[in-house]
């Protein structure tokens, strides 16, 4: 079943919003000896990584290890991902790209998360500095990043999560508000689902053999650099208010503002079925709760969750 989303005029440039390049970025992976442990404030907090999602950035690295992957629209109708890691930390994640103002609201649900990002629009930097998170760009943590070979900048910046967190903080750090458990009754048998942005699209196809939703982006199966097929246990299409923010990229395209505080409707895909649901997040410091059509809490399947933000009609 297709979902067509039309927000902004399409634009196919590959570098939205990266107004400030990192000042210090090694051109090769740093040595393997373990680094000094980061500050203790990160021990019980997850790692969030902004991940590039244009064709020149694929296949990505470490995406299959994330507990939650958020997909958002950015300038020119393109998309970008934010992957959240709590139960395991892969050796490498990337390509890493820039942050957006909407990320700060989304990350308030976690206790002082660590944000790995390549930079940000210069007017946004003071807000990032004041946000209740650990901002770890290549400027703050140069030893954690490197430029990979074989791709042109800016699609070749990678981060070593183990140089930002001493260890995976565990599932308790995922204060998303999601609840996991048996599927509710009902639902509609669903073989595939497509979500479209003006210049990007996400596809999810149910695999009975893997009991997972196989992810595709722009019509191409999503794999990682080690060949793993990215597959979600639960997919959420969350309808939210999306407006033009006061920020813009170097070409003058306004950055979409994705509002994740509030309430609205959603569709939840799990176990080969889709379920109509509603979502609620009263405050930025709250997680998001999902309620099934019969009024009961909507359970997610155990495993990776993809949340695709779509504009409320």
Element (H, E) at 101: helix 101-107
Position 285 scores a pLDDT of 96
Tell me: pLDDT of 226 over 80: yes
**Contacts (Cβ under 8 Å, ≥6 apart) of 45:** 110, 111, 112, 113, 114, 134, 165, 169, 173
Tell me: pLDDT of 97 over 60: yes
Q: How far apart are CA 215 and CA 193, in angstroms?
A: 10
Position 55 scores a pLDDT of 93
**Contacts (Cβ under 8 Å, ≥6 apart) of 226:** 61
**Contacts (Cβ under 8 Å, ≥6 apart) of 185:** none
User: Mean pLDDT across the chain, nearest whole number?
Assistant: 87
Please report the sign of the dihedral spanned by the C-alpha atoms of residue 301, residue 199, residue 258, residue 152.
positive
Question: Burial level of 150, CB count in 10 A (0-12/13-18/19+)?
Answer: exposed
- Indicate the range of 31-35, 180-184, 297-301 predicted with least confidence: 31-35
Position 85 scores a pLDDT of 98
Position 236 scores a pLDDT of 98
Element (H, E) at 128: helix 125-130
Tell me: pLDDT of 177 over 90: yes
3-state secondary structure 201-214: EEEEEEECCCCEEE
Tell me: pLDDT of 6 over 50: no
pTM, 2 dp: 0.86
Tell me: pLDDT of 92 over 50: yes
Position 247 scores a pLDDT of 60
Position 38 scores a pLDDT of 41
The radius of gyration of the chain from alpha carbons, rounded to an integer in Å, stands at 18
Provide the token pair at 134.
């650990």
Tell me: pLDDT of 18 over 60: no
Position 27 scores a pLDDT of 54
Q: How far apart are CA 222 and CA 13, in angstroms?
A: 21
Tell me: pLDDT of 222 over 50: yes
Tell me: pLDDT of 250 over 80: no
Position 246 scores a pLDDT of 63
Distance between first and last Cα of the chain: 17
* Concatenated DSSP letters of 3-44: E----S-----S-TT--S--S---SSPPPSSPPPP--GGGTT
- Indicate the range of 3-12, 73-82, 201-210, 297-306 predicted with least confidence: 3-12
pLDDT in tens, 49-78: 999 999 999 999 999 999 999 999 988 889
Position 31 scores a pLDDT of 43
pLDDT in tens, 20-50: 445 455 555 444 444 433 433 443 799 999 9
pLDDT in tens, 127-165: 999 999 999 999 999 999 999 998 999 999 999 999 999
**For residues 249-255, average pLDDT:** 62
Tell me: pLDDT of 95 over 50: yes
Position 165 scores a pLDDT of 96
Position 16 scores a pLDDT of 46
Position 11 scores a pLDDT of 36
Position 25 scores a pLDDT of 53
Share of the chain above pLDDT 70, in %: 83
Residue 265's DSSP bridge partners are: 278
């Amino acid at each position: 079943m297709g979902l067509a989303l039309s927000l902004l005029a399409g634009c196919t440039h590959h570098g939205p919003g990266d107004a400030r390049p990192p000042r210090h970025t090694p051109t090769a992976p740093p040595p393997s000896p373990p680094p000094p442990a980061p500050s203790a404030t990160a021990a019980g907090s997850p790692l969030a990584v902004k991940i590039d999602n244009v064709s020149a950035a694929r296949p990505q690295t470490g995406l299959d290890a994330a507990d939650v992957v958020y997909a958002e629209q950015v300038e020119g109708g393109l998309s970008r991902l934010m992957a959240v890691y709590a139960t395991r930390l892969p050796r490498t994640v990337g390509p890493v790209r820039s942050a957006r103002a909407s990320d700060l609201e989304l990350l308030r649900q976690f206790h002082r998360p660590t944000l790995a990002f390549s930079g940000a629009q210069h007017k946004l930097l003071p807000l990032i500095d004041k946000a209740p998170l650990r901002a770890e760009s290549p400027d703050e943590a140069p030893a954690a990043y490197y430029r990979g070979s074989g791709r042109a900048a800016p699609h070749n910046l990678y981060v070593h999560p183990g140089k930002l967190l001493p260890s995976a903080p565990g599932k308790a750090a995922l204060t998303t508000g999601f609840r996991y458990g048996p599927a509710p009754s009902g639902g509609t048998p669903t073989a595939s689902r497509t979500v479209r942005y003006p210049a990007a699209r996400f596809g999810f196809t149910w695999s009975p053999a893997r009991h997972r939703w196989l992810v595709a982006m722009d019509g191409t199966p999503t794999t990682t650099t080690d060949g793993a097929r990215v597959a979600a246990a639960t997919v959420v299409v969350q309808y939210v208010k999306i407006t033009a923010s006061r920020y813009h990229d170097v070409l003058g395209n306004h950055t979409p503002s994705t509002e994740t505080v509030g309430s609205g409707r959603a569709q939840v895909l799990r176990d080969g079925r889709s379920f109509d649901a509603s979502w609620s997040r009263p405050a930025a410091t709250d997680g998001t709760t999902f309620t099934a059509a019969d009024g009961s809490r909507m359970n997610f399947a155990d495993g990776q969750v993809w949340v695709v933000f779509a504009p409320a009609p």
